[in-house]
Structure 1
């Protein structure tokens, strides 16, 4: 069995000012770097040794992984990047304020169709339809890349005999993946930066142990506080 520590990247500039990041990218803020340092220290305190690391190819997840591996004493392990676990692409709304898309364009589109809102498939297809740049993905493409990306990582890890792997991805991508694994449950919303969704993988199937846990960050925060008090 493979234990999968699925992490949302650290807080970025666009996260801070409420812009839809998508496939666009901004670096971690000082607060974001501090939060992921806490996460790495929490992993270290629990004695978690990762056999392999994965992230999307976005700068914010790569930067996050560096802080995790360095502060958890896991530097030097195999590390791969995979564009399939990128965030949703918002097309021409990438970089726009969240409210413009999620509180403006999409509600109006659903209202025109006589609905108050939509499920993930309807939201993805609505973004695809209003995207004037032609970059956004229809639901089937988005769904399949997320599923195959995470499954392929876990399957490779299982074949190698890995026990623990860490994956850094994005908030909406992670919540979409959780919903796809458990369609009977409500989709998690507003996963915190640096939160950990813990999964077990065996024989082609995932089992969810925790969603959006802040346990490791809180532990790291306590360690940093204790160290500061000593000095």
Structure 2
């Protein structure tokens, strides 16, 4: 039985002054990636995880939500520098636009990558995944709404000839929790051929996963120190921080 931490990032900014809950500075991100390299962690894509029955002792998965342009500018060069792999999750409705679902939180709008930018991402470094179509909370949607959301995702993928692996990062980590609704939700995403569904959970996963549709991610926040980062990889989010 192995432990697999899956880290969740959002925005990356140019300097420490821009850090906030969802935004890590490029300097901190570089220190975190350097730590992974120094401690001989190995990164994987979900398409690789799918085929594995066991994992190396120091395995980790890096994930970035929303495919913001700042990830292209700041995260990708560091991933290439350190030869690390990551998964980028697309909210399809917003491709080439901004993160309009965040318009009421007071933060500056963030550009979302264009189709051309998504296609230029190096496939050996970046694996694309699903982050729903409209970035709504699944718990607030009816089964027909969720089905429509999937259909719209597939239409975008088809129209733009994108290569997207069927791993789904739930917007806000949110999905139905009541037993019947949860079972129906998992059936629905299975029928839409999703291999993995990612919530938050804030703990390393036991691998092989107990439930492929309740895979836990650890939220890496912009103000986390390197010590907090190290503790999160090992233990997940502790009550101390």
TM-score interval (norm. to shorter): 0.3 to 0.5
Structure with bigger helix share is 1
- The structure with the greater share of residues assigned to strand is 2
TM-score for both structures, normalised by structure 1:
0.37
Q: Which has the larger radius of gyration?
A: 1
Specify which structure has the bigger relative contact order, considering alpha-carbon pairs within 8 angstroms and separated by 6 or more residues: 1
Structure-2-length-normalised TM-score? 0.36
